[in-house]
Amino acid sequence: MVSGQWEAEDENGKLITGPLQEFLFQVSSCMMLSPKKFMREHLMSWMGDWKLEIGDFRLRVGDWRLEVRDLRLAIGVLVAAGVACVAAVPAWAAEDLREELKKVPYKIVYETYRDGNWELYQINADGSQPANLTKTPKVHEMFPQVSPDGSKIAFIVDEGEGEGKVRSVWLMNRNGTGRTLVAQHARWPFWNRTGTGLCYIPDQKEEFNIRDSAGKGLCVYDLATRRATPHPNPELEHLYNLCWTPDEKWILATVSGAMGHNHAILAVAAQGKDVLRLNYADGNRIGGCRPDISPDGKRIVWNSSDFTISVAELDFTGPEAKVINPRFVVTSKEPVLVYQADWSPDGRYIAFTSGPKAEKKLALSPAIISVKAPGWNICVADANSTNRFVQVTTDGNSNKEPDWVRCPLENKERP
């Protein structure tokens, strides 16, 4: 871990400071998008976010101080810092992880496109023993979400064609039996931590929309009464990829083009109207999307860019929601994307999906639900290392949206 502090002056001469690790992480996160794009599109806005004076750039590590009064040299210092941070990430040999995963007592459920149909599959943590859970050649099932006790799976179904197409949220036993409709014109199911309630996002309009952010509001479906209750905040909209904190006080979500944000990760009060933007410790917003909270509630994993998955400590102790000590857990390079990270039940591993970006510039992202993603596979990473991961599916059949079965398997289920 990099230690030390950085400091600079804002336009009013006020001193601003923060952890050096966070400073380097933000620089390198921007650079991972693309060095050229970083220089052209992100550097100046990044400087603006940090309120650094272009004509008098300062950086201090402990008692060591560097002052740069030349713009080109200042840019060079920033780029060098970002490169140093990325270069410091070790490349782990990961084949021993595959052997390690053979002993992990959990399974992974994911969506996959086979023979013209989306199905839900289940594998062991190392990718062995694949099994089709749905077996419905005329129904598209996607986005599996396993209940906390591992007994049920929530998922979405796309039915119909053209203007008559409808997206709905369903529920079934993990063996594929007992299918129950939860809500039509709905998406993004996610469980509360006790497994008594299943939340979902109603569609903003009845017309079918493939976009992640095409929802408005939030509802909680009670499994006992089979009734849905709207969230107390009617202003929620364009949220996606949601998850609860273990104490069920907050819901983390990505927002796109709504609620006063272009793109951000938000913390929404589960029982009230408070909405907080998730920030770094210095007050800058964290970039990226698709958060997932560790089972103990102490860490968050998210897509800090299309090519990086990051982990940080999650802090709700103050008036703001913050992430502390961010670091990369997976890094990739164009054209291979990494997405959809999910914590294992013991917090030791992170399942994610990886594959090539769309070949056409205007094509929809392969990460979007129901968009076919040839060449995409499920991977598992060591949550406490960087780039120590293995690919656990190999067929490239649009394998996406992994979700761990959050309970130890019964002996009869183990291979």
| CA–centroid distance for 94 within its chain | 22
Q: 85 — phi, psi (to 5°)?
A: -65, -45
Q: 38 — phi, psi (to 5°)?
A: -60, -50
Taking CA atoms, 101 is separated from 48, 340, 347, 400, 404, in Å, by 44, 19, 14, 19, 13
Strands (E), 316-413: 322-331, 336-343, 349-356, 377-382, 389-391, 400-404
In this prediction, residue 360 carries a pLDDT of: 76
Q: Give the largest Cα separation in the chain, rounded.
A: 68
Q: How confident is the model over 284-304, as a mean pLDDT?
A: 94
Per the model's pLDDT, the better-predicted residue between 274 and 57 turns out to be 274
Domains of the chain: 5-87 (no CATH), 95-413 (2.120.10.30)
In this prediction, residue 114 carries a pLDDT of: 95
What are the tens digits of pLDDT across the range 386-409? 999 999 999 999 999 999 997 654
Per the model's pLDDT, the better-predicted residue between 359 and 38 turns out to be 359
Question: How many Å is the Cα radius of gyration of the chain?
Answer: 22
| CA–centroid distance for 232 within its chain | 25
**Has residue 199 got a pLDDT over 60?**
yes
In this prediction, residue 15 carries a pLDDT of: 58
Say how far apart CA 111 and CA 368 lie, in whole Å: 12
Per the model's pLDDT, the better-predicted residue between 391 and 282 turns out to be 391
**Has residue 230 got a pLDDT over 70?**
yes
Peptide bond into 319 cis (omega under 30): no
- pLDDT band for position 60 (cuts 50, 70, 90): very low
**Has residue 3 got a pLDDT over 80?**
no
C-alpha distance across the termini of the chain, in Å: 39
- pLDDT band for position 89 (cuts 50, 70, 90): very low
In this prediction, residue 83 carries a pLDDT of: 43
Say how far apart CA 2 and CA 318 lie, in whole Å: 24
> Residue 325 corresponds to which tokens in the numbers above?
């000590």
Say how far apart CA 242 and CA 219 lie, in whole Å: 12
Query: CB of 303 within 8 A of CB of 321?
Result: no
- pLDDT band for position 103 (cuts 50, 70, 90): very high
Range with the poorest average pLDDT among 61-70, 123-132, 147-156: 61-70
In this prediction, residue 359 carries a pLDDT of: 81
In this prediction, residue 228 carries a pLDDT of: 97
| Mean pLDDT for all residues in the chain | 83
Say how far apart CA 239 and CA 316 lie, in whole Å: 20
Share of the chain above pLDDT 90, in %: 67
Say how far apart CA 343 and CA 45 lie, in whole Å: 32
Say how far apart CA 268 and CA 233 lie, in whole Å: 9
Say how far apart CA 199 and CA 290 lie, in whole Å: 16
- pLDDT band for position 17 (cuts 50, 70, 90): low
Q: How confident is the model over 76-104, as a mean pLDDT?
A: 62
Return the residue matching tokens 């496109």: 113
In this prediction, residue 32 carries a pLDDT of: 54
Q: Is the Cα dihedral 362, 363, 366, 367 positive or negative?
A: positive
- pLDDT band for position 6 (cuts 50, 70, 90): low
Query: CB of 279 within 8 A of CB of 323?
Result: yes
**What is the three-class DSSP state of 251?**
strand
Question: 369 CB contacts (<8 Å, ≥6 apart)?
Answer: 111, 142, 143, 156, 187, 210, 212, 400, 401
> Residue 277 corresponds to which tokens in the numbers above?
């933007």
Return the residue matching tokens 């390079």: 333
Q: Is the Cα dihedral 302, 305, 308, 311 positive or negative?
A: negative
pTM score over 0.85:
no
In this prediction, residue 281 carries a pLDDT of: 85
Say how far apart CA 125 and CA 360 lie, in whole Å: 33
**Has residue 31 got a pLDDT over 50?**
yes
Say how far apart CA 360 and CA 372 lie, in whole Å: 13
Q: What is the dihedral of CA 315, 316, 318, 324, to 10 degrees?
A: 10
- pLDDT band for position 163 (cuts 50, 70, 90): confident
In this prediction, residue 161 carries a pLDDT of: 85
